């Protein structure tokens, strides 16, 4: 009888071991998820045409068109943005150079002034050309700048997500007290972000919809930033996007910002 019990226990252990090998448990923590988001494939470069819609609290609407270009340089990247219409903003350009362990360099070109202006740290919380994005929103954050913790798992539409809380390690390092981020599990794509002020009050929400796979890269085609305090929204619809087209380095220079297109 004792031998029979030992055989059953031994058989059970083998079955458990086989199941563990076939379906290994994947231990993830907040830092790993944040790093996987940062490392996910989004192409060596990308060029897109975007239709922007601004809606104020009275329901008034303003349309804008712009192009964006991004290119990676090793672990860092550079991005260029240029508005093409309407006439009052046509030619306005914005350039970002990522820096390792330093604040990103950001430059704004206003055609009326015909000069390139550097965005300084004290301006990072300012709204970018009257949209609901601030200059900080348009720069990257290194994973190590924040503490990351998984709050829960949750479904948005058909997507299974991790809900990640990211809190700046230094209070003066961000305008935000924390961000709550919904990350699609299988593809590590943030689909929703809640922004909280330093008094832990929710005041801005980003949501992404219409996710498509283009050239093997998961892409959000419809995005909305909703400023709850100002009751103002910025909607962006990607009308065209191309990846890995070998964008020339010239695009990411201050001289190119004055370029007439």
For the chain, count helices (H), then strands (E).
2, 13
Pick 30-258's CATH classification: 1.10.1270.20, 3.40.50.300, 2.60.120.260, 2.50.20.10. Answer: 2.50.20.10
CA distances from 256 to 66, 101, 116 (A): 16, 26, 10
Residue 171 predicted with pLDDT over 50: yes
CA distance 35 to 31: 6
Residue 160 predicted with pLDDT over 50: yes
Residues 28-79 have pLDDT tens digits of 799 999 999 999 999 999 999 999 999 999 999 999 999 999 999 998 999 9
Residue 225 predicted with pLDDT over 60: yes
CA distances from 222 to 64, 66, 71, 160, 237 (A): 15, 15, 21, 19, 5
Are the C-beta atoms of residues 82 and 67 closer than 8 Å to each other?
yes
Share of the chain above pLDDT 90, in %: 83
The residue-averaged pLDDT of 221-242 equals 98
What is the model's pLDDT at position 260? 61
Q: Where are the domains of the chain?
A: 30-258
Torsion of CA 157, 158, 160, 164, to 10 degrees: -20
| φ and ψ of 136, to 5 deg | -65, -40
Residue 9 predicted with pLDDT over 80: no
Residue 17 predicted with pLDDT over 50: no
Bridge partners of residue 78, in order along the sequence: 71, 97
Are the C-beta atoms of residues 200 and 210 closer than 8 Å to each other?
no
Residues 88-113 have pLDDT tens digits of 999 999 999 999 888 899 999 999 99
What is the model's pLDDT at position 24? 37
Q: What is the mean pLDDT of the chain?
A: 90
Assessment of whether the complete model's pTM goes beyond 0.85: yes
Residue 143 predicted with pLDDT over 60: yes
CA distances from 201 to 148, 194, 229 (A): 19, 10, 10
What is the model's pLDDT at position 261? 55
Residue 27 predicted with pLDDT over 60: no
């Amino acid at each position: 009888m004792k031998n029979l019990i030992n055989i059953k226990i031994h058989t059970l252990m083998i079955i458990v071991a086989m199941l563990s090998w076939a379906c290994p448990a994947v231990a993830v923590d907040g830092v790993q998820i944040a790093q996987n988001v940062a490392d996910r494939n989004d192409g060596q470069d990308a060029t897109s045409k975007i239709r922007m819609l601004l809606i104020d609290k009275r329901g008034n609407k303003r349309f804008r068109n712009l192009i964006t270009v991004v290119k990676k340089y090793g672990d860092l990247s550079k991005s260029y943005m240029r508005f093409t219409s309407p006439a009052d903003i046509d030619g306005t350009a914005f350039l970002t150079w990522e820096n390792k362990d330093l604040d990103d360099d950001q430059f704004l070109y206003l055609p009326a002034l015909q000069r390139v202006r550097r965005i300084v740290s004290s301006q990072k919380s300012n709204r970018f050309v009257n949209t609901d994005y601030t200059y900080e929103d348009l720069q990257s954050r290194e994973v190590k700048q924040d503490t990351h913790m998984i709050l829960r798992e949750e479904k948005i539409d058909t997507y299974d997500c991790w809900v990640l809380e990211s809190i700046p390690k230094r209070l003066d390092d961000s305008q935000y007290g924390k961000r709550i981020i919904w990350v699609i599990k299988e593809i590590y794509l943030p689909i929703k972000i809640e922004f909280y002020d330093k008094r832990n009050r929710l005041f801005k929400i980003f949501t992404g919809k219409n996710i498509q796979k283009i050239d093997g890269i998961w892409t959000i085609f419809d995005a909305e930033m909703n400023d709850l305090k100002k009751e103002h929204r910025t909607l962006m619809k990607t009308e065209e996007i191309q990846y890995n087209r070998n964008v020339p380095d010239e695009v990411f220079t201050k001289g190119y910002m004055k370029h007439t297109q």
